[in-house]
Amino acid sequence: MRLMVAAMVIATLSACSIVDPHRLTTRTTPAVVIPDTPVPIPNTNWKRDAIDFVWTTVNERYYDAKFHGVDWAAVRTKYEPQLLATTDDDAFWDLLDKMTGELKDSHTRVHSPKWVEQQRNRQSHGLGVGLAELDGALTVTSVHPQSDAWWGGVRAGMRVLSIDGQPAMTHYRRLLEASRETSTPWARKRGAVRQIVSGDVGTSVRMQFARTDDSTFEVSMKRRSFNTNIDFTHRVLPSGFGYIRFSGFVGNLTDDIVAQLRNMKDTPGMIIDLRGNGGGSAGMASTLIGQFLKEDYNGTTIQTRTGKPLRVFFVPVTKLKPVVKGSGAAAYDKPVVILTNESSASASEMFSMALKDAKRATLIGERTCGCLLAYMGLTDVPGGGQMAYSELGFINRDGSRIEGNGVQPDIEVRPTREDLMLGRDRALERAQAFLTEAAASRAAKVQP
């Protein structure tokens, strides 16, 4: 037994192409210390190594051998001279990420050493303000209570008139045009917003806002560090319906969510709020899908580069026709509503589509991100960054794909500036109205 264990450890550490052809056991987080100022670049050797590593990894391991129709060799020819000519660290990593964006794939991306350090510390650096284009205006959608914006009087529903002296929409559209490609046009908008709000701690932005009465004011806001812990909310609403919201599919939440579903099993309807849920663990999504199904479910085909499952030590770690295990009598069998928006991505889309396809849930809200591919872990990049590259594609039962399209809601409810200003959640209201009707219909059917 000891010899067997030793042999396995040696094989793992050596990343043998035979036992671990997909390098699943050697993906680690680099030990990088990020200073407060941009990292100086002493020479271009590491940059060449980083470019070669990213390009070659995609070239050899991307799930689609046709690269979504992109001439991947031409992409390198286009970007390499620009990358080598960059004069600061931030510009290099941003441009390297933009190179992978040519695939129009939100899951294939490059992260800078600064991002790596933020994620290790479960932090994000920014203004603490959510923005979106609504009714032709850049509009505040949320404000963190510890941000300068909040203490400067900024509230959801206000319009942004200018950013550092430039007309807000002009500035936003310029950033949108220059932002990296991703899975869908509506997902790309988040990249433009990210460029406005994110940045090094201590840097500042001055914005002019319009209140609900059209009076205006200016606020100078510094970027701060905010924690990025997963939010998890569960309760029985005053209407009597169960409500669960969580901001990411993180495996250690699975047991808590399942436990709350069991605690609320007697509620006449359930609302799963996945708005803003960026996804995460496909395994967790599969487990939660099964909590609403009595029978097993198979509605997805997985696509890989070779047409075969990924494997480690000759054992498949993925299945091309995965089966979701139903929960039998323990399944929650009352009506279910899933709330979605354009930021519902990846595993949230898998969850939503499966329950919609199985006719176990009604989707209310907005079309989802259209960002459903998968990678098996982050890979270290020379220079201290990391990259993700899509290794799995997903095909629905009818041959369609969520990637690039999103999941359409059964009932569309889009937010308005007026709703934001009033603090009104029209999608949640519609969900409860729908469940009230469904519960009444269900009760009528069981009457003698």
List, for residues 138-194, the tens digit of each pLDDT value.
999 999 999 999 999 999 999 999 999 999 999 999 999 999 999 999 999 999 999
Decide: helix, strand or coil at residue 108: coil
Q: Are 100 and 110 in contact (CB under 8 A)?
A: yes
d(CA 384, CA 425): 42
Sign of CA dihedral 112, 117, 121, 125: negative
pLDDT at 269: 97
Where, residue-wise, is CATH 3.90.226.10 in the chain?
A: 232-371+413-446
Cross-strand partners of 356: none
CA distance 265 to 258: 10
385 close to 53: Cβ distance less than 8 angstroms: no
Contacts 24+ apart (CB under 8 A), 281-284: 281/249, 281/250, 281/251, 281/347, 282/249, 282/347, 282/350, 282/374, 283/251, 284/249, 284/250, 284/251, 284/253, 284/254, 284/347
In 3-state terms, the chain is what percent helix, strand and coil (to 5)? 35, 20, 45
Question: If you average pLDDT over residues 22-51, what whole number do you get?
Answer: 59
CATH topology for 232-371+413-446 is: 2-enoyl-CoA Hydratase; Chain A, domain 1 (3.90.226)
CATH superfamily of 123-227: PDZ domain (2.30.42.10)
Question: Residue 48 — φ and ψ, nearest 5°?
Answer: -60, -40
List pLDDT tens digits, range 297-340.
Answer: 999 999 999 999 998 877 888 899 999 999 999 999 999 999 99
- Taking the chain, what is the end-to-end CA distance rounded to the nearest angstrom? 65
Statement: residue 203 has pLDDT above 50: yes
Q: Which residues pair with 336 in a beta bridge?
A: 270
Q: How far is CA 25 from CA 28, 52, 312, 317, in A?
A: 9, 22, 8, 12
Share of the chain above pLDDT 70, in %: 90
Number of neighbours of residue 320 by Cβ within 10 angstroms: 14
Separation of alpha carbons 411 and 339, rounded Å: 10
φ, ψ of residue 81 in degrees (nearest 5): -60, -40
Q: pLDDT higher for 18 or 325? A: 325
Q: Could you write out the three-class secondary structure of 136-190?
A: CEEEEEEECCCCHHHHCCCCCCCEEEEECCEEHHHHHHHHHHHCCCCCCHHHHHH
Q: Does pTM top 0.95 for this prediction?
A: no
**Residue 25 φ then ψ, to 5°:** -90, -5
Q: How many CB atoms lie within 10 A of CB 23?
A: 15
Report the SS3 class of residue 8. Answer: helix
Read off the pLDDT band of 43 (50, 70, 90).
Answer: low
Within the chain, all domains assigned CATH 2.30.42.10 are found at 123-227
* Dihedral sign from CA coordinates of 84, 87, 90, 95: negative
Q: Residue 14 pLDDT more than 60?
A: no
pLDDT band at 2 (very low <50, low <70, confident <90, very high): very low
- Taking CA atoms, 23 is separated from 27, 61, 322, in Å, by 7, 10, 22
